Amino acid sequence: MSAAREILAQELAALAFCWRLERRDGVTIGLTSHDRDMAIGGVTYRAAPGMLPSAVRRGSGLTPESMDVRGALSSDALHGPDLEAGRWDGASLWLMLTEWTDPGALWLELARGEIGAVEREGDAFTAELVGPGAVLDMPVAPETSPDCRAMLGDAACRADMAARRRVVRVAGVEGQAVSVAGGGLAAGAYAFGSLRWMTGANSGIVQAVMASDAGGVTLADPPAFAVAAGTLALLTEGCDKRIATCSARFGNAANFRGEPYLPGNDLLTRYPGG
């Protein structure tokens, strides 16, 4: 009988849940439902007795795993501003079961996946776990569309983005408008692109760019935290996903992932001209 089976077969076992969360920027934290910290595998799992998982659904079929995690916001681990800023969106999560009298002797994986929707209610939060099986819900074949379905610079687009990224120094921020010190940006080049904060309180957060001119860009949302003059940011060009832009600006019409000349349903309703 394995060690895990022996522990779980005991009449009395001191069990605790452990969560390991890894953000996309590399930040990793450990939390446990026990009332004391535990060090397992080089990671310190901080006591978070208020955190509880909902029922974990697992099966051998094609149904994806699902789970909700509820807990209290903590300034040392998860706190409101970081959740609202999207720092934890898409973070990897593992839910493990251990025995707190001998941490790590029992290390049973209950679920894994990515953090999906996060909701905040006062001083508490609820995070949804999206399991690996969720990819089975994706379409098998892409739908036709007049616009390109690829993301600029991905494996389908193949556009070289090396010269289409630029590190800038921010001169100031007013609402959603971000002005760049020295200007000199190509007007319209960064519309539908992105801005990644490299320094300051927003460091690591990526925001969508809606419009741009020579002096700066307009973001889809205001920055989550205050931005000081001199903050560095990485601007990445965007694309409006039209065949004309793909051909004229990027010279990449051969990799256009759309059907701009495919007749639509309105063809059936047309009447002959006079």
pLDDT at residue number 1:
44
**Other C-beta atoms lying within 10 Å of the C-beta of residue 84:** 12
Angle ∠(209,210,212) on CA atoms, nearest 5: 80
Contact 212, 185 (CB under 8 A): yes
Determine the Cα–Cα distance for residues 4 and 29; give it in Å rounded to an integer: 25
Structure tokens at 210: 């809606």
pLDDT at residue number 196:
95
Determine the Cα–Cα distance for residues 155 and 148; give it in Å rounded to an integer: 13
pLDDT at residue number 106:
86
Which residues, other chains included, contact 147 with Cβ-Cβ below 8 Å and sequence gap of 6+? 241, 242, 258, 260
pLDDT tens for the chain, residues 1 to 274: 466 677 667 777 788 888 888 888 888 888 888 889 999 988 999 887 666 666 555 554 444 455 566 655 554 566 777 777 778 888 888 888 898 888 888 888 887 888 777 777 766 667 777 766 666 666 777 788 899 999 999 999 999 999 999 999 999 999 999 999 998 999 999 999 999 999 999 998 999 999 999 999 999 999 989 999 999 999 999 999 999 999 999 999 999 999 998 887 776 676 665 4
Domains of the chain are: 14-134 (2.30.110), 162-255 (2.40.10)
Determine the Cα–Cα distance for residues 78 and 176; give it in Å rounded to an integer: 26
Q: Tell me the pTM.
A: 0.73
Determine the Cα–Cα distance for residues 269 and 147; give it in Å rounded to an integer: 22
Q: How many residues does the chain have?
A: 274
Angle ∠(177,181,182) on CA atoms, nearest 5: 120
Determine the Cα–Cα distance for residues 107 and 91; give it in Å rounded to an integer: 21
